[in-house]
Amino acid sequence: MKTKKQPCLWLDELSTKEAAKAAEDDTVVIFPIGSVEEHGDHLPLCTDSIQPEYIALEVAKRTECLVAPPFRYGICNATRNFPGTITIQFDTLYRVAQDVLSEIVRNGFNRIIVLSGHAGSSHMVALRLAAQDIVTKNDELPTNRKVRIMVLSDFDFAEELIPKYAAENDGHAGTIETSRVMAIKPELVKAKGEADVWHMPRFEVVAHPELYFPSGVNGDPTAASASKGQKINEYIITQVEELVKALKL
């Protein structure tokens, strides 16, 4: 008995002929963006990368969209002085995102979701500006070929579940994020860490933000569980699925 061939999920695993056909079929492409950033002593530096990549692949399995090769660097201003964090300049992220999006569009893919696992304000602005440039540049295309790009962080959906699964101040490396990684890659989670809250001065720009949260944690990772993580991840997957469906309309 022949086994059914599994559909290809990664854009770069297609042949050139398959890529052309996927573009012709108006296939949605998800472009995951991550970071190399501290997440306390209990989570890996790749936390912001493995989350959106997992979500993107699960959505691709259910919607027949494609996942572009991820970019695993971001702007990590608040955590830049922690060992292991690798941050890049605003212009670098902006230009990488602009170049990759431009090339995806040049290849005929006009429906794109930029899904970031890192939600820093400067980081997200760089991605949105890059997307805005591409959309504006291609504004003269026919209505049925209009370039449509969505830019979001998976935390946009995860934070909606804070009242249900975590304390009010939960955030970086806290209950929600720790639970999600426990569900995706439990082997990368060390001891659950300790609860802490960031105490950044309001409005002030500081040279050493890490002094205001030396643990690198904002929330309570001790309240995390793989069970919570599975439910949170599933919620995010269903929400991104809806975005894919909206882009197909």
Q: Round to whole Å and give the CA distance between 33 and 69.
A: 9
Categorize the per-residue pLDDT at 8 as very low, low, confident or very high, splitting at 50, 70 and 90.
Answer: confident
Q: What is the pLDDT of residue 202?
A: 86
Buried b (16+ CB within 10 A) or exposed e, 14-28: beeeebeebbeeebb
Question: Average per-residue pLDDT in the chain?
Answer: 95
Q: Round to whole Å and give the CA distance between 90 and 76.
A: 10
Domains of the chain: residue spans and CATH = 26-201+208-240 (3.40.50.10310)
Residue 150 confidence (pLDDT) above 60: yes
Q: In this structure, what token pair is assigned to residue 67?
A: 């996942």
Q: What is the pLDDT of residue 1?
A: 46
Q: What is the pLDDT of residue 139?
A: 86
Categorize the per-residue pLDDT at 198 as very low, low, confident or very high, splitting at 50, 70 and 90.
Answer: confident
Q: Round to whole Å and give the CA distance between 236 and 238.
A: 5
Residue 137 confidence (pLDDT) above 90: yes
> Could you report the per-residue pLDDT of 160-197, keeping only the tens digit for each?
999 999 999 899 999 999 999 999 999 999 986 788 88
Residue 3 confidence (pLDDT) above 70: no
| 29-33 and 148-153 beta bridge pairing | unpaired
Query: What count of Cα atoms within 13 Å lies in the side-chain half-sphere of residue 16?
Result: 0
Q: What is the pLDDT of residue 5?
A: 59
Residues 231-241, mean pLDDT to the nearest whole number: 99
* Percent of the chain topping pLDDT 90: 84
> Could you report the per-residue pLDDT of 65-90, keeping only the tens digit for each?
999 999 999 999 999 999 999 999 99
**In Å, how far are 75, 92, 93, 94, 183 from 122, measured between CA atoms?**
7, 12, 10, 10, 28
**In Å, how far are 22, 29, 42, 57, 99 from 17, measured between CA atoms?**
9, 17, 44, 22, 22
Categorize the per-residue pLDDT at 140 as very low, low, confident or very high, splitting at 50, 70 and 90.
Answer: confident
Q: What is the pLDDT of residue 59?
A: 98
Residue 141 confidence (pLDDT) above 50: yes
Q: What is the pLDDT of residue 200?
A: 84
For the entire predicted model, the pTM comes to 0.95
Q: Round to whole Å and give the CA distance between 34 and 239.
A: 19
Q: What is the pLDDT of residue 6?
A: 66
Q: Round to whole Å and give the CA distance between 126 and 242.
A: 25
> Could you report the per-residue pLDDT of 209-228, keeping only the tens digit for each?
999 989 999 999 999 999 99
Q: Round to whole Å and give the CA distance between 127 and 96.
A: 9
Q: What is the pLDDT of residue 98?
A: 98
Residue 232 confidence (pLDDT) above 60: yes
Residues 38-60, mean pLDDT to the nearest whole number: 98
